[in-house]
Amino acid sequence: MWSPEKHGWRAAVFATWCAGLIAHADSAAAKPAPGVDEKLRTGVSVDPGKPSPASAIQNAANDTVSSASRGGLEWDLPARQRGGLLLAQGIFDGAKKTVRADSPEPPASAAADTESGAVAGALRGLSEWRVPLVRWGGHLSTEIRAEKAGDQPRRLKQTEIADIKGASYIWQPWFALVSGGLGLVISKELRSESRDLTADQPPKTSSTAATGNGDVTLFPVSRFPFNAYFDVSDSRASGEPSANDITSTRFGIRQSYRPLETGDNFIASFNRSTLESLSFGRDTVNALAASMNRNAGPQSLELSGSHTSNTRSNTGERTAFNQIYARNSYRPEPELSVESLASLSSSDFRLLSAGVPSDNRSSFAQASTFATWRPEEDSPLYVTGGARMFRSAIANNAGEAQTLSLGGNLAATYALSRQTSFAASASVTQLLTDAASRLATTQTAYLTRIGDPVGIFGANYTWNAGANISNQTGLAEGMRKNLGGQFGHNLTRSVTLGENSQANFGLGQSAGASFDSVTARALTLGHSANASWRLSSGAATSTYVSLLGADSRTSGTNANQFQMINFQVSGQVQFSHSSSAAANLTVQGVRQNTPNTPSAGMPFNSSGNLSYFQQRAFGVPRLRYSVLYGINESQFKSRLQGDFNAPRELVNQSFEQRLDYNLGRVAMRLSMRVARVEGRPDALVFFQMNREFGGF
């Protein structure tokens, strides 16, 4: 029977041999050779022109023992290989300790040969450093563009672009992923003779610019990935029409961490974006952000903070924003929940208004909590309550003002029936300003009834009615009482126009009356109408169109009028196998006036895009025709507000036609665009030829 006391040295040799095979498995599997069967059996490749495996093992063993005696071999190996050696050595030493003094030992020469061969097999191939595969590619491009922007002279520009890029990993893909690229931009420009040319705008110019980018991600699939990147780009190399030559430099880092045992999540990041151009100088945005999320039983916590700043060299304008936000949710049972919020924000502006600089500083702090409770899941009683603190401080060229308000509220709703409900609420607010202090209270009661739908000629008719009474104290005008009532009804109908098409129509009307002890009587009458159409025919065709109109008029005290028209279209339509269209457009007009501020008309605001694509244009294979229309009359993203992804200039409206043709790895594009950029007209004709190479 086998026992570790009698066969301990054999167990040690076997463990050492196994550790070597495990550590050598990657190398053995990665390089199949003619002697693959022998390699799988012994871990050593067979080469007919080289010594036998036994001799190779013996030689490697001698080298191993000799190097190990110097104490430095294993530290030249990667961590995983060193671990295999230490594991084998530990097993071997442990096995030797179990051998008794009277245990039979093998011949010294046989034991030495076996042990040396095992170690050599474990080490062979471990010190090999395999060069990782590199995915690479690039392109060569020639561009010619003719442009006329606003009152600027016409420009004719030729640009040559070359870049190369690649991606790979360091050691192992799970350890580090890397990518990067280098590029060169050579540009020649000819401006038309014009009195608008200044001394720093010669008729002929040439320039050269270098571009590049790099990205590294450490431990990409771990719980603590780290990413760093940089990017230097030139608008002339973007392949897109641009009103100005802009150089963009971006840098950023991001670290995230997720503990193993909990569902927490921590993220911190920094991003810097700099735009440079002869037209506006240097525009720099810095953005620092951090956040964390934690879930522990019935509680969840969110905490975030950010700092953003923007500076502009040509105007001296600058902005800075700081914000800290915290949110805590507590839900011990379905019938009870508590939401608590806290935020602290500050801003510092120095902006130009009609060429005159103005400074503005502000800070806001608020904290609130809101709780909901229902005795039972189907209980008709629903109770809410909360408290709030708000503090503001605003300073500008005219002076400084501070306010502080503290308040609390309690409300309850009781469902008398499925259609009727009653609600009551009370609140108290302490308001403190630089000039006064005031305590205000409000008490309100509501009664609401919603009628059951009634069918009328295929349409659904619904109605609702309500009444309210309120009392306020602590106001500047003293006690204030209000009594009001309202009634509304709606008519809706859906019509099926086909298997995949449906239209919906709706009409609404509401009337309300208010009797106030301070502002006397007020009457409000409102009307609304809407229509929508939806088409859905598989994944290729899905369209939604809607039109909404609303009108509200109030007479008596605080008389005013309000009108709104809203039109939306979205979706995509596949006309044939080679033509399609897509849309995402919103047009809205709003008009509001009072006796003191009459409105001259209804201004419209539009945003969105429309597009049409035609494959095999004019019957030519691989020729594509595109029509693109975009409009954006409101700039939602602003670098002044700290958005480092926002563009410097806003393209208000753009209409572009393109012809694209591909021949192998050569791509050509001819584009014509008319646009409004920052309110000025811009016209452009653009041609590009691009040749790609590599496999990136």
Q: How far apart are CA 565 and CA 29, in angstroms?
A: 69
Lowest mean pLDDT among 46-60, 385-399, 610-624: 46-60
Give the per-residue pLDDT at 16.
44
For a pLDDT cut of 70, what percent of the chain falls above it? 78
Q: Scanning the structure block, which residue is given the tokens 């390699």?
A: 39
Q: Given a cut of 80, is residue 390 above it in pLDDT?
A: yes
SS3 494: strand
Give the per-residue pLDDT at 521.
85
Q: Given a cut of 70, is residue 124 above it in pLDDT?
A: no
Residue 410 pLDDT class (50, 70, 90 cuts): very high
Structure tokens at 259: 């503990």
Q: How far apart are CA 216 and CA 520, in angstroms?
A: 69
**Total residue length of the chain:** 696
Instruction: Kindly report, residue by residue over 56-115, the tens digit of the pLDDT.
Output: 434 433 443 333 333 333 333 444 444 443 444 443 344 444 444 344 444 444 444 544
Instruction: Kindly report, residue by residue over 594-622, the tens digit of the pLDDT.
Output: 888 887 788 888 899 999 999 999 989 99
Give the per-residue pLDDT at 201.
61
Give the per-residue pLDDT at 695.
82
Give the per-residue pLDDT at 200.
57
Contacts within 8 Å (CB) and 24+ apart, 101-108: 103/5, 103/6, 103/8, 104/6, 105/9, 106/9
Do 255 and 267 form a contact (C-beta atoms < 8 A)? Answer: yes
What does DSSP assign to residue 596?
S
Q: Given a cut of 90, is residue 162 above it in pLDDT?
A: yes
Give the per-residue pLDDT at 369.
96
Neighbours of 3 (CB within 10 A): 9
This prediction has a pTM of 0.68
What does DSSP assign to residue 88?
H
Give the per-residue pLDDT at 635.
56
Give the per-residue pLDDT at 1.
45
Instruction: Kindly report, residue by residue over 328-347, the tens digit of the pLDDT.
Output: 999 999 899 999 999 999 99
Which has the higher per-residue pLDDT, 43 or 580? 580
Per-chain mean pLDDT for the chain: 80
Instruction: Kindly report, residue by residue over 184-215, the tens digit of the pLDDT.
Output: 999 898 887 655 555 556 678 888 889 999 99
Give the per-residue pLDDT at 637.
53
Structure tokens at 272: 């810097």
Would you kindly state where each structural domain of the chain is located, as residue ranges? 4-123
Mean pLDDT for 26-46 is: 40
